A and B are shown apart, each in its own frame.
Chain A
Amino acid sequence: MKLKTTLLGATCALAMASAAYAERGADGEVKLTFPQAVSIMNPYLSGGTKDIWASSMVLEPMAGVDPEGNLVTKLATEIPTLENGGISADMTSITWKLQPGLLWSDGSPITADDAVFTAAYCMDPAGGCAQATKFEGVASVEAVDPSTVKVTFTGPKPNPYTAFVGSLSPLLQKAQFADCLGAAAPTCTDANNMPIGAGPFMVTGFTVNDTVSMAANPNYRDPAKPAFATAVIKGGGDAEGSARAVMETGEFDYAWNTQIPPDSQASMSADGKGQFVVAFGTLVERIEMNTTDPSADLPEGERATAKHPHPILSDIKVRTALSKAIDRSILVEVGYGEGGKPTCNVIPGPAAWASDNEGCIAQDLEGAKVLLDEAGWKDTDGDGIRDKDGKKLSILYQTTVNPIRQDFQALIKDWWGEIGVETELKAIDPGVFFGGDPGSPDTFQKFYADVEMYANNSDSPDPEVYLGQYQCKNAPRPETQWQGENINRFCDPAYDALIAELSTATDVPKRQEIAKKLNDMVTKDSMTVIPLVHRGTLSAHSNALGGVMINAWDSELWNVADWFRVK
């Protein structure tokens, strides 16, 4: 009892102490470093994570997402729900109410007109808005009164928290961007580099691809925050250099994206100046199986299309054997250390959405060999490579140029060699691989290989859009100029039907159940996708910086207003 009282007293004292210290601008400067420098501060014109995270310190949405995946209010008074009437009963509209008395950093009031303008800005087809998906299905955005915004959708929207939610979709100031609609959007250099926002900081200086200087926003809605008077984001260099500047020399307080080899992680942590923090979102490094024949003998236009099923990988036994031969724990150990976990799922999180599928974690070389025997692939000529009907079990395995991926390729080639599969490796420049140029044979969409490895993720905790990628209609093919997200050309009518069901389901547990089923259909049931590693984003912060709560569902800097200097 006594101990408990003492502890309680101590906690209260601590709480009081931190409250007493809380004063805007009392803690001096906070210094952040990004391995990729910030190019622009307007998230609507850049899909680059570096730009979006940086702008999240300045621009704020109605609501954000916390590390557990729950919505938290930013500019709104409360999160609209069916219960509180914020979402209409037929789910076709959502109404946001702005907190009273909100001001932009220049002192002018924030009104519903600004939100209406922001929607018009991003929905203008000539503007090339990078976050257009956030406004997909939006029929109109109107100002009911100066502090109320109503977003109406073209149909029932089970997940209406898209527009104005999260750092991808913050409010812009109408007065500043009024002349920047449509085709004029890229030409508004000053507004794009130094947007006026409602966030805890405001931009005071911007050098392209180098440094963003910020000062505490004098009109921030919480008068006690932020604790720092100024903030600087210095960009450039590499992950190793950024990590070193926080963990070894202590020049910076926070480094984003310090994905460095596990042994460097360990030696830097040992210095005791800072720590690595990792956020696990939905990023999964995976091997995708080609269900179509990429053979160069086929004419262009038919090669790697649904006209010709894959001669080897069409057999689920072969696909399963390839998955069984891989030891995912070793991959994590070699490539990611603290920043990764073995996984068998395409949707590895949030926990409520993730399937309990763990069957692939343990490596099973013998089981893989048995499966290949059953499939009719036997080593008849004794050269160590299995064959069938005079054709060798030989696979072309491509990925991007990246040291970790090349390590993975080498390891996996060895394991596949042990079960009698010959593997040819190919590494492609990431700019080409992800570039999507329909004229290039090396894009990941064209998939002129048998298997390929890369990472992908869902940009929201609700994976509806992400799972929708594997529908038949999304297969890249000549008719779509080789665009489309269904890389494997996976096509299962049952899957498409389930996606349709998901898009109308409104009950959250029901949605989660469908998502798990969909996840299993592309992974353990069909082995079309072989997930390898659930990757986190690894960042580093100095021990002198307090309040960091890393977040995988929104900007990592989502609570930068609460950061403080540990004294």
Chain B
Amino acid sequence: MLTFTLRRLLLAIPTLLVISLVIFLLVDLAPGSPMSEIPLTVPPDVRQRMIEALGADQPVFFRYFLWLRQFFWVEPATLFDSWFGTSLAGDEQRILSWQSRSPVFTIIGQRIPQTLTVIGTAYLVAVLIALPIGIYSAYRQYSFFDQAGTLFAMIGFSVPTFFSGTLFIIIFAVWLGWFPTKYDTQLSVTDWPSFLERVRQMVLPVMTLALANAAAISRYMRSSMLDNMGMDYVRTARAKGMPEKTVILKHVLRNSLIPVVTVIALGIPSIFGGAIITENLFGVNGIGAALIGAIHANDIPMVQTLAFIFAILIVLFNLIADVLYGLLDPRIRYD
């Protein structure tokens, strides 16, 4: 198991390098310019000087290797410096966003907490809703509950978040006035009322995202349960006279969870990736909103860094899912 993990980790290094180059070239070759948001009243020669000041006129491979060096050396060194008070990074330039001229990792650091709380809560809520629905739908297949669950999943699957989110805003914020439409990112939780305020502003985005996520997970859970319920060992368990609760929740559920755990684990990188549409809609200043803003502004350093971090997370969680498989199912061993 350990050698398997190590081998996979080593293999990840060339994979990630290739990914970083591909992302860089894709982002760089995509049409557009960091100056496209500048008003037309700014004349061409001024634009040209602005581009030069950003370093955006340098050859593409020069910029790629500079970025690699900044990502793998300057940024970790800066982090190390800030922890231990050393001066490894010296005066070297960190990765700067073209749009805001702020270090990219400072921006990510500002935004990760919002993304983790909002998107993470939504994911957790989605799992907590989806698992019982999936289990009960499978247990009472074709019952009224199962049909209702299917309808719920269909709605969750097919209604895009920009629609459901706007619908929730109109119903719960405009008509009923229960929740705010804009997320106040300056709110710090210090006491009970401010905690309630935080919960209140999280309700709408969490609801929107949980609906979309729960739909998929509940379907996986249901079909996995159905697969297992027809198995011989279930009949054996029932024949032994075990109570129905034990049969379903101990035997069937445990075995059915294996594929579902993979699905859930593979979904976790998307928590870090944020939710582009939902974050934008509710003004949550998360990673997703940062990514789409950077794409609009052709802010290559920001897009490149974020996309590469997502790539790392996806590679990592694939590995974690594979390892978890082995732990959950003793039949699967990699050695």
Contact = CB atoms under 8 A, between A and B. Distances in A.
Interface of A: 33, 37, 39-40, 45, 47-49, 125-130, 132-133, 183, 185-187, 189, 192-193, 205, 207-211, 213, 232, 234-238, 241, 244-245, 248-249, 251-252, 429-437, 440, 442, 456-459, 465-466, 480, 483-485
Contacts of B37: 47-48, 434
Contact of B54 (A128, A232, A234, A251): A128
B119 to A, nearest CB: 16
Interface stretch (B91-99, B134-142, B149-157): B91-99
Interface in B234-272: none
12 contacts: A33-B182, A40-B100, A40-B102, A126-B52, A128-B54, A129-B50, A132-B49, A232-B186, A244-B169, A252-B182, A429-B32, A437-B33
Nearest to A432: B31
Contacts of A435: 31-33, 35-36, 298
Contact of B42 (A130, A252, A484): A130
Nearest to B31: A432
Nearest to B50: A128
Interface in B1-59: 31-33, 35-44, 46-54
Contact of B280 (A47, A238, A440, A483): A238
Given A245-B181, A431-B32, A437-B33, 15 more contacts: A47-B39, A126-B53, A130-B38, A133-B41, A185-B53, A193-B100, A208-B107, A209-B289, A211-B285, A236-B285, A433-B36, A434-B40, A484-B44, A485-B40, A485-B43
Given A39-B99, A127-B53, A234 B184 contact: yes
B290 interface: yes
A174 to B, nearest CB: 20
B106 A189 contact: yes
Contacts of A37: 285, 293
Given A237-B283, A238-B280, A437-B33, A132 B46 contact: yes
A-B pairs, 6 with minimum CB distance: A128-B53, A435-B33, A47-B38, A210-B285, A431-B32, A483-B44
A541 B57 CA distance: 42
Nearest to A37: B293
Contact of A45 (B101, B107, B111, B180): B101
Most buried by A among B46, B173, B180, B296: B46
B281 interface: yes
Contacts of A47: 35, 37-39, 42, 50
Contacts of A126: 52-53
B52 A128 contact: yes
Nearest to A441: B31
A192 B98 CA distance: 13
B129 to A, nearest CB: 27
Given A45-B101, A244-B174, A236 B49 contact: no
Given A126-B53, A431-B296, A241 B185 contact: no
A189 B103 contact: yes
B186 A209 contact: no
B107 A249 contact: no
B226 to A, nearest CB: 42
B110 interface: yes
Contacts of A208: 97, 100, 102, 106-107, 110
Contacts of B53: 126-128, 183, 185-186
B132 interface: no
Contacts of B103: 189
A140 to B, nearest CB: 20
A47 B185 CA distance: 26
A32 B48 CA distance: 33
Contacts of A187: 93, 96, 101
A129 B297 CA distance: 18
Given A130-B38, A207-B285, A209-B289, A436 B31 contact: no
